[in-house]
Amino acid sequence: MDELHPERTELRVPYRDIDMHGRMHTAAYIEHAEEALARFWQYRPEVENEPAYVVRKVGCTFYRGLKNGETADLVVRAAKIGGKSIGFNVAVQSGNHIAAEVELLWTAVNRVNGEPAPLPEATRDWLFSFLD
């Protein structure tokens, strides 16, 4: 990942993530997707009085199990940009194949009272460049 492509993160499947069948265990896909999303999120524009973001929903669709040492690219895309929420899709790609897709839904909340808050315009505008 770099400033030109903050949506891309490379992963080499670590041994600790391998299950008894020799493939990356299911929870690891979500963990690595959240890490890729956190790295991506670091590149958002700075906003005064930015709301906090909380995870409301996570889901994963599996297509092929990754093996120990295999490399994959995690590609973050904005799937939905609402008034107070953001849906992300993180594709886990190995070669020309998608191994899994992780969907995450975040809601913006007021940092003081935890109530839903509007997405800042600068954040929305930035996210539109990563919209699927």
pLDDT in tens, the chain (132 residues): 566 788 999 999 999 999 999 999 999 999 999 999 999 999 999 999 999 999 999 999 999 999 999 999 999 999 999 999 999 999 999 999 999 999 999 999 999 999 999 999 999 999 999 998
Task: Indicate the helix (H) or strand (E) that contains 1.
Answer: none
**To 5 degrees, how large is the angle CA 62–CA 22–CA 100?**
15
Domain covering 8-128, topology: Thiol Ester Dehydrase; Chain A (3.10.129)
- Look at residues 64, 65, 62 and name the one whose alpha carbon lies nearest to residue 20: 65
What six digits make up the tokens of 37?
């999303």
What six digits make up the tokens of 52?
């906090």
